[in-house]
């Protein structure tokens, strides 16, 4: 039985990880400031996780959360490209300074490994597809810059301090517990909520932009594989986590219409600054280093997500 700290553990991805760790019988501690996380996301496991309400930007909170921890699954961050464009200082503080606090305190606490949640946004809008980890990053937004900075800190802490780290570049994660109500909600929960109301979904651009949509269970699996990999095998590594396939936003609308039994056409709006046109991952490195295989593909993930929203909204 391993003792895990999940930062941002009341958020979308973090809570899904926490639920799976509890299911597997591990000791789980969650650190969250509830800026974007929700207590409801921990429903059903409240008595089986230790919850610390604290902030990544307060070193004392991070140090307290790390006492006795073996593995950190660092999901805590301020997400959203538009949010980062509106407030780059807050994004930097949470994502870069917060990550540095986690790494520094992990080193002092003797943590065995830190698994860092990075993002496909670090690639920017380079035309080469699929995106491979050896490609030069070209971030287009403050959010992407913050995630890339966190990767570099993880690599440096592995090389300079001997702290085992691995950065997982998530590609457009979706699934249960993703908040559709936020101003900065991701496209899939926002589309689902609109279409359940009979409203036409709003597409920024012409809808031909594509994403490697990744169901959250695949991301949970990748995190646990990274946590359990043999000692010394992942020192500062970076791996894409995705399905290795891509769908356009028009494909997404069609898939949702199919599941919902509707015929709603999108409303087209101007493209937003910082948005990437195409995102498609090469996942060979994750397969080789982690033994990762995406278990759930786009269509099945959409079906499960719609069912979850219908049951919980």
Any domain includes 248: no
Any domain includes 118: yes
Say how many domains are in the chain. Answer: 1
pLDDT at 183 over 70: no
Residue range 84-131, pLDDT digits in tens: 999 999 999 999 999 999 999 999 999 999 999 999 999 998 889 999
Any domain includes 271: no
Which whole-number Å values give the CA distances from 242 to 26, 76, 133, in the listed order?
A: 25, 19, 13
Any domain includes 309: no
Any domain includes 265: no
Question: Region 36-53: what's the mean pLDDT?
Answer: 95
Give the torsion through C-alpha atoms of 25, 62, 52, 73, to 10 deg: -30
Domain that holds residue 55: 3-176+215-243+281-296
CATH of the domain at 230: 3.40.50.720
Any domain includes 42: yes
Using pLDDT thresholds of 50, 70 and 90, give the confidence band for residue 15: very high
Any domain includes 251: no
Give the predicted TM-score (pTM) of the model. Answer: 0.94
Pick from 123, 116, 107: nearest CA to 166: 116
Which whole-number Å values give the CA distances from 76 to 25, 84, 178, 303, in the listed order?
A: 22, 15, 14, 27
Residue range 268-305, pLDDT digits in tens: 999 888 777 888 999 999 999 999 999 999 999 999 99
Long-range contacts (CB closer than 8 Å, 24 or more residues apart) made by 177-184: 177/12, 177/15, 177/16, 177/38, 177/41, 177/216, 177/308, 178/12, 178/216, 178/305, 179/12, 179/36, 179/38, 180/309, 182/36, 183/83, 184/79, 184/80, 184/82, 184/83
Any domain includes 312: no
8 A C-beta contact, residue 66 and residue 3? no
pLDDT at 179 over 90: no
């Amino acid at each position: 039985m391993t003792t895990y700290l999940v930062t941002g553990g009341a958020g979308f991805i973090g809570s899904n990880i926490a639920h799976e760790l509890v299911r597997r019988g591990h000791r789980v501690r969650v650190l969250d400031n509830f800026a974007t996380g929700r207590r409801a996301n921990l429903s059903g496991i409240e008595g089986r996780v230790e919850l610390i309400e604290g902030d990544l930007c307060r070193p004392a909170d991070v140090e307290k959360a790390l006492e006795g921890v073996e593995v950190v699954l660092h999901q805590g961050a301020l997400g959203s490209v538009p949010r980062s464009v509106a407030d780059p200082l807050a994004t930097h503080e949470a994502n870069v300074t917060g990550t540095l606090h986690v790494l520094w305190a992990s080193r002092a606490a003797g943590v065995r490994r830190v698994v860092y949640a990075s993002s496909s946004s670090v690639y920017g809008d380079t035309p080469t597809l699929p995106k491979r980890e050896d490609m030069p990053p070209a971030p287009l937004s403050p959010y992407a810059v913050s995630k890339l900075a966190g990767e570099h800190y993880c690599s440096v802490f592995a090389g300079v301090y001997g702290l085992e780290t691995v950065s997982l570049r998530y590609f457009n994660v979706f699934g249960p517990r993703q908040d559709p109500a936020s101003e900065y909600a991701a496209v899939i929960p926002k589309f689902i909520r609109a279409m359940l109301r009979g409203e036409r979904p709003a597409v920024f651009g012409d809808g031909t932009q594509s994403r490697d949509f990744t169901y959250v269970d695949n991301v949970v699996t990748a995190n646990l594989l990274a946590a359990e990999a043999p000692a010394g095998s992942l020192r500062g590594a970076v791996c894409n986590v995705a399905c290795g396939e891509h769908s356009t936003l028009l494909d997404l609308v069609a898939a949702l219409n199919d599941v919902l039994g509707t015929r709603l056409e999108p409303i087209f709006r101007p493209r937003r600054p910082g948005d990437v046109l195409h995102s498609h991952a090469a996942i060979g490195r994750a397969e080789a280093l982690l033994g990762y295989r995406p278990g759930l593909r786009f269509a099945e993930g959409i079906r499960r997500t719609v069912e979850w929203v219908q049951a919980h909204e």
